[in-house]
Structure 1
């Protein structure tokens, strides 16, 4: 059978390169990256921009000396080419795809190619990382640069070179200037460096010089960070409950399937009055079972770490991964009991890749000895992942400002006006971003004044009194948690409620929309 042979020299060269064994070994990783790209681009502009994303945009526009300046500089450059929701969110996608490649390279250095491909695949399809790839936030960038530094330090731990040390320092610096919490990685770095080179004084001096340079460059940003920490800890963090030790393993669910164990537990508790087992209880028990599997695989990986340490014939490279995973986690956990809880999913993004690597190492241990059990575990993972991805792509996680604007645009009439009441400065940027229509839009609260978190009758009356005058109908958009009966009681004195809509979501408060008409306008009509 004749084989295809391109006639053009340039095409022939490309054809032979694609046929070479050197390229073929990258094909599986390329396919994984393509899959990750599809998941990260799917519905990227569906949800409205939420408060934290507005914060990123504001920082990029102001470019003040802040701990996240590098991310703000990058986003400011990105905004030159467009400011649509999809375009701004696209800025996180290249870094998220880079994380997939770096996870593969890091796992390849400490395990084998099969494990590296599996770790890269778990990273590519993780709804946790897909979600942060679709946000105008710094977590994808900071995870990319922190992993870049880790890959370089892994090379340096094997054979220290000037290049590996420089890339490690640069990776850590850029990760710090994207998300300051990455400074916690310096601690396991130092532990591994001192342990590895304790008898090599010259190497320790060279690495120490690099750290001094890192510290000097980061010093101004560290100063601003130290000044901001008290306000940060006294904000919503202070109101967050202390971590429940029984729920901490549920973070592994978040990293791999995105369904927080607290969410499925809430489903279970809400179904207690139902007879029989019920779908909610089945989901709860399934994810508890899935969580136990993840913990079991993690324990297997840690046992393999211990085995490597005892062997002493080769470098215990899995110990390096475990150190980067566990030490920052324990530091955050300890800090959570001193201040408010720091065990927030997005704060753990920079260590999540190391847990994925350990889980794949544990799975490989099972696969080598008990293939049938391993395939069963793979099926459980696939079901959990499918549930997480389906939930992610079919539910709103943030405030639906686009839906609110669509309602107003569809049912507006001449003489209407919009009144918008929201707490804080971030929501004040939301509705004006999406409403570009002809109706007058007036903010009914000063974002710099401390209003009550829940509206009472006094403030509800003030809101209604501050509506723009001489309009036949008003679209009243309220962002804080609102006592519907209370505000309708206040409204009925002067207004008739023509429509009331609630826009629930999974992460934030539920914006509410009232279409009201002054009673005197109805009488005149």
Structure 2
């Protein structure tokens, strides 16, 4: 009797098409249901810039590299709606799934490729970033295709795979700094396996020489722009590293942030994923002296690809005593999405290796357990995806609803108060008649006399336009793993904001609305100034 594993192995195209359709559907459903948040609006702003202005804007911060935004400049001609700008990420999310099938098929078999494609297709973490107008579905797709080209180049004496690998790695490095971790991982792999892969190692170093020459203009741009300090590229809002962070990253890679840490089934599912990953590591320990075992070599490559970005980022983010007194952290799961493909590929490989290993007593049971794993992964992913798209605590900052609420209150002139980061959303979603008045940033841990003087001056400016004003406070999900608890607590507590505390103490609150990631408060200003 033929089982479904045999069908997948002999005729992979029909299940692959179903997986790609599923992936496309999961990414297309609700694509524009959530509001664009600040980072996505910044993508639109940069996509609309002329190329010289784009490079000037990037040079001022150096937090991002230019390729993704250059490509989005071409895409921008199709429109600026949430659906259009996010659809670019949908396409690359599906490309990554097709790519991981090719990679898994090449290094293992068609079953591994299909299972890896299915896991990536239903991954809540990958779906989230495949529905966001940022580079976090574009980048993994480039790296998946680069590893497929590298795997072909290692096994076949052809020039074209090496050129394709070089081109994809140039694109990846020009998209995000963390792609350099992948090059370091490849360096370690080839150095460790120089004896088994001597010709391929020499070709790799020559390829990296070509990659380095092509990236010299980008390196010159990065090191000559800004204020000359490398630390300028590190966002200050990333939370300090915790010892539990790598385990929580694996949690996200397995089931996504939609499953809360208090749910027992989340721990169970993550443990199953880890078990499968460990099983896949077994070929790395096998040694054959008479021939090169490509399966064991590729397992080692994927282990290094997965672990090195996590390990190096963790170590760099620690507060070392010999470093300056201004510690910083780079550890953020969306940056580490480059390690998601090897993790899921290893999980798929482990499940397939365990289920198909010769065994007369438990063969049928193992096939049923493999089917159970797939069912479990789909159910858990479905729960996580539902939470991410319907639980208000998980939703992106709802600027669209915020501006709609403000427009519901009739007034001759609408005045909004806030920090500089509310300008982009107002320009995109707001009415042209909205007057923006910037409030001063805090100048210390407590409200000072100078801060009161500065904020009163801005309030006086606002009163010239209208006796009332909306104070808009965005609360971003800066959690390392995208868990929503911290943002939810900030949103519920008025004392979290110095400006809000002072306004509440000195003016009459007329209305307040709490939306996903945003707090709106309407104040009567004129009477308060007179008092």
Q: What TM bracket, shorter-length normalisation?
A: 0.7 to 0.9
The corresponding residue for 1:380 is: 376
The corresponding residue for 1:347 is: 335
Say which structure, 1 or 2, has more relative contact order (CA 8 Å, 6+ apart).
2
Alpha-carbon distance in 2 for matches of 1:454, 1:144: 47
List gaps (5 residues or longer) in structure 1: 1-20, 269-282, 506-510
**Please, what is the CA RMSD of the aligned residues?**
3.2
The corresponding residue for 1:515 is: 522
Structure 1 residues 309 and 242, CA gap change in structure 2 (3 angstroms): farther
Structure 1 residues 140 and 489, CA gap change in structure 2 (3 angstroms): closer
* 2:528 matches 1:499: no
State the shift of 1:23 in Å: 12
Quick one: which of 312, 323, 346 aligns to 1:331?
312
SS at match of 1:138: coil
Quick one: which of 23, 30, 36 aligns to 2:23?
36
State the shift of 1:81 in Å: 2.1
List gaps (5 residues or longer) in structure 2: 1-7, 59-63, 321-326, 357-362, 476-489
Structure 1 residues 34 and 63, CA gap change in structure 2 (3 angstroms): same
Alpha-carbon distance in 2 for matches of 1:23, 1:361: 17
1:38-187 pair list within 5 angstroms: 38-60=25-47, 61=49, 62-64=53-55, 68-187=65-184
State the shift of 1:461 in Å: 4.0
Alpha-carbon distance in 2 for matches of 1:463, 1:249: 46
Alpha-carbon distance in 1 for matches of 2:292, 2:465: 84
State the shift of 1:26 in Å: 1.6
Query: Are 2:508 and 2:524, in contact at CA under 8 Å, matched by a contact in 1?
Result: yes
Query: Are 2:255 and 2:270, in contact at CA under 8 Å, matched by a contact in 1?
Result: no
Alpha-carbon distance in 1 for matches of 2:369, 2:9: 34
SS at match of 1:363: helix
Query: Are 2:149 and 2:161, in contact at CA under 8 Å, matched by a contact in 1?
Result: yes
* 2:404 matches 1:406: yes
Give the alignment's TM-score, normalised by structure 2.
Answer: 0.79
Alpha-carbon distance in 2 for matches of 1:144, 1:488: 43
Query: Are 2:123 and 2:255, in contact at CA under 8 Å, matched by a contact in 1?
Result: yes
Quick one: which of 494, 505, 520 aligns to 1:484?
494
Alpha-carbon distance in 2 for matches of 1:137, 1:327: 24
The corresponding residue for 2:233 is: 232
Query: Are 1:419 and 1:441, in contact at CA under 8 Å, matched by a contact in 2?
Result: yes
> Which digits, 9 at most, give the CA deviation of each residue in 1:67-98, with x for residues without a partner?
62211110111112211122111121211111
* 2:249 matches 1:251: yes
SS at match of 1:415: coil
Query: Are 2:278 and 2:350, in contact at CA under 8 Å, matched by a contact in 1?
Result: yes
The corresponding residue for 1:367 is: 355
Alpha-carbon distance in 1 for matches of 2:301, 2:341: 13
Alpha-carbon distance in 1 for matches of 2:71, 2:444: 37
The corresponding residue for 1:442 is: 436
Alpha-carbon distance in 1 for matches of 2:17, 2:72: 27
State the shift of 1:441 in Å: 2.0
Alpha-carbon distance in 1 for matches of 2:256, 2:203: 41
Alpha-carbon distance in 2 for matches of 1:320, 1:286: 31
SS at match of 1:135: coil
State the shift of 1:353 in Å: 0.4
The corresponding residue for 1:287 is: 266
Give the alignment's TM-score, normalised by structure 1.
Answer: 0.80
The corresponding residue for 2:324 is: none
SS at match of 2:240: coil
Query: Are 1:59 and 1:72, in contact at CA under 8 Å, matched by a contact in 2?
Result: yes
Alpha-carbon distance in 1 for matches of 2:196, 2:347: 33
> Which digits, 9 at most, give the CA deviation of each residue in 1:120-164, with x for residues without a partner?
011111111111111111121121111211111101111231101
* 2:346 matches 1:358: yes
* 2:277 matches 1:298: yes
Alpha-carbon distance in 2 for matches of 1:426, 1:504: 16
Larger radius of gyration: 1
Query: Are 1:309 and 1:319, in contact at CA under 8 Å, matched by a contact in 2?
Result: no
Structure 1 residues 115 and 184, CA gap change in structure 2 (3 angstroms): same
Paired positions, count: 469
> Which digits, 9 at most, give the CA deviation of each residue in 1:322-358, with x for residues without a partner?
2222233322222222553333111111121000011
State the shift of 1:232 in Å: 3.0
Alpha-carbon distance in 1 for matches of 2:65, 2:140: 13
Query: Are 1:99 and 1:143, in contact at CA under 8 Å, matched by a contact in 2?
Result: yes
